[in-house]
Amino acid sequence: MAQKKMILDLDTGIDDALALAYAIADPAVDLIGIISSYGNCLVETSGENSLKLLELLGQTDVPVFLGEGHSSTTDSFEVMEISQLIHGKNGIGEVELPVAKRPIESQSGVDFLIEAAHKYNDDLILIPTGPMTNLDAAIAKDPEVANLIGNITFMGGALTVPGNVTPFTEANIHQDPEAADRVFRSPAQMTMVGLDVTLRTLLTKKETQQWRDLGTEAGRVFADIVDFYIDAYYNLDIDKNGCALHDPLAVGVSINPSFVNTIDLNMQVTYDDVDYGRTIGDKDRLNDPTTNMKAAVGVDADAYLVYFMELLNGLFAK
Q: Where are the domains of the chain?
A: 4-316
In this prediction, residue 125 carries a pLDDT of 98
Query: Which residue(s) pair with 127 in the sheet?
Result: 8
Under CATH, what is the fold of the domain 4-316?
Inosine-uridine Nucleoside N-ribohydrolase; Chain A (3.90.245)
Residue 149: per-residue pLDDT: 98
Diameter of the chain by CA atoms? 56
**Active-site residue among 9, 11, 15, 247?**
11
Judge whether 246 counts as a catalytic residue: yes
- The per-residue pLDDT for 3 is 81
Is 210:203 a contact under the CB 8 Å cutoff? Answer: no
Residue 18: Cβ within 10 Å count = 26
How far apart are alpha carbons 250 and 257 in whole angstroms?
A: 9
**So what's the pLDDT on residue 2?**
63
Rounded distance, CA 12 to CA 185, Å? 27
Q: Which residues contact 295 (CB under 8 A, 6 or more apart)?
A: 157, 159, 191, 192, 194, 196, 262, 263, 265, 267
For residue 273, what pLDDT is reported?
83
Closest CA to 135 of 264, 10, 255: 10
Nearest CA-CA partner of 155 in 306, 37, 4? 37
Identify the active-site residue in 15, 181, 227, 246.
246
What are the residue ranges in the chain where pLDDT is below 50?
A: none
